[in-house]
Amino acid sequence: MHSPQFTSTFCSICFLFSATAFAADVPELNKDTFAKWRDFIRPSEKEVEYLKVPWRTNFAAALAEGRAKDKPIFLWNFHGHPLGCSCINGVHTKEVFENPQIKELSKMFITVAEDSGRLEFDRKYPAFELFHREYPQGSQGFFVFTPSGKMLGRSWYKPEEVASLLQECSAKWEKIPKSERDAMATGAAGKKEEDAVYPKDGLVLHSYMRDLPRKSGSPRKEWNQEFTWFTKIEARQFVPLKLKVGEQHEVPKAVLHRLVRFTFVDSVIGGTAPFAEGHVKSAKLNSRIVSLQKDAAHVEFDGESLAEEIGIWSIHEDDSDKGPQKRGCRFKIIGNADFSVSRQSFTSFELVACGDRWGGTRFNWRGSDSGLAPMGVACFLASKEPWEKIKPLRLEDYWPMKKRNN
């Protein structure tokens, strides 16, 4: 039984936050403005310069490749995943690769971007002990390792520091006698890792999120990204059972809520916890087949969602403001897709959500900007490239959620 003090506090929270005034400067989203906001939210070519580097996604396998090719390893490692939903540091590090010198210098290395959680907490991961032996202080940063696992250097994310790191470590590597480097190549060759839970024949959405323009003040320049996974059975539920022009269908709650809880979340500046099932106040997404051409059913989507969490937590890392808090997102959603009748899978998929976000958490860095403000999310069909097979930030929470920290 809760104490009277707790009950009083919780009731006060509910009283304060039970009604949310939706008054942000949300841009109008409709068929005419769909392309405008899709392209505004999606990162520009300059913002994805980092993808011009051939990133591997497994540090242990990269070490083995380095032994085989007689090359040092350049590791990009920040909380979350640098190629997926990342913390604020990971969000900012992408800008490093807008520097052409760094892209050129990286060609001398085996380049790998890694999930910091795997290196920091997964004791079963082959490279866990090696990494902590060389760098026991934590896991974030840019690193250079020899193929045998010796750390040659580390830097934070200022471009000039990263450039210096690559230059200095390349020189250190060249000074290692060839006989010693040959000895490093005696380890196992390693093999490409395939994630057992990756939905190979399902639907993988690559989503981007950023703040939208406001009437007063400019939106922050940061943007983040996330991947959302659906099995083949779940993916099929985005379209009507009968593939005929005019057929309409409401996407089942169990499928739609994965988007609302894990993707339509304010992780613009830093990846944060998903919403729990009970935080979804309303969600609806309708799909309608508008045309059939040969093997393709063209589908249009429209809907809306509202999720809000109310409770006691801090929005600063030092817990200095721990107390009654709220956070939420409300979106209007429209989109379109092409569904292959013969393959029973999507060949294209675009979904845009524009709306309000409010509140903050410990990790999404909204402490000074937690009021009602416009935000957008744009979802696209992911390719089969390694950099689009990154695990969702909170994949473990796709199933019933346990108590967690925001």
Helix (H) or strand (E) segment spanning residue 281: strand 280-293
The better pLDDT of the pair 21, 290 is held by 290
pLDDT given at position 155? 92
Mean pLDDT of 329-354: 97
The better pLDDT of the pair 396, 110 is held by 110
Q: Does domain 59-186 have CATH number 3.40.930.10?
A: no
Q: What is the pTM of this model?
A: 0.89
Extract the tokens encoding 257.
Answer: 């809520």
Q: With bands split at pLDDT 50, 70 and 90, how would you rate the model's confidence at 144? A: very high
3-state secondary structure of 202: coil
Name which of 10, 111, 126, 131 is nearest 66 in CA terms: 111
Q: With bands split at pLDDT 50, 70 and 90, how would you rate the model's confidence at 192? A: very low
pLDDT at residue 2 above 60? no
What sign for the dihedral angle of Cα 85, 89, 91, 95?
Answer: negative
Model pLDDT for residues 276-290, shown as the tens digit of each residue: 999 999 999 999 999
Mean pLDDT of 354-372: 91
The better pLDDT of the pair 20, 52 is held by 52
Sequence-ordered list of residues with C-beta below 8 angstroms from that of 196, at least 6 positions apart, any chain: none
Model pLDDT for residues 197-232, shown as the tens digit of each residue: 899 899 999 999 999 998 877 778 899 999 999 999
pLDDT given at position 214? 87
According to DSSP, the residues that pair with 331 across neighbouring strands are: 305, 355
pLDDT at residue 405 above 60? no
Contact of 164 with 96, CB cutoff 8 Å: no
Helix (H) or strand (E) segment spanning residue 334: strand 323-340
Q: With bands split at pLDDT 50, 70 and 90, how would you rate the model's confidence at 116? A: confident
Sequence-ordered list of residues with C-beta below 8 angstroms from that of 382, at least 6 positions apart, any chain: 204, 205, 206, 227, 388, 389
The Cα 178–Cα 70 span in angstroms is 9
3-state secondary structure of 186: helix
Q: What is the DSSP string of 220-236?
A: PS-EEEEEEEE-HHHHH
The Cα 153–Cα 109 span in angstroms is 13
Q: Which of 31-35, 163-167, 360-364 has the lowest mean pLDDT?
A: 360-364
Name which of 55, 98, 46, 90 is nearest 74 in CA terms: 55
pLDDT given at position 298? 97
Model pLDDT for residues 28-53, shown as the tens digit of each residue: 999 999 999 999 999 999 999 999 99
Q: Which of 134-138, 142-146, 234-238 has the lowest mean pLDDT?
A: 134-138
Q: What is the DSSP letter of 33?
A: T
HSE-CB at 225 with a 13 A cutoff on CA atoms is 24
Extract the tokens encoding 198.
Answer: 């990756």
Contact of 371 with 359, CB cutoff 8 Å: no
Which phi and psi angles does 271 have, rounded to 5°? -60, 135
pLDDT given at position 151? 92
What does DSSP say about strands 110-115 and 73-78: parallel, antiparallel, or unpaired? parallel
Domain ranges of the chain: 17-44+199-398, 59-186
**CA distances, 135 to each of 69, 113, 328 (Å):** 24, 17, 38
pLDDT given at position 188? 39
What sign for the dihedral angle of Cα 27, 30, 31, 34?
Answer: positive
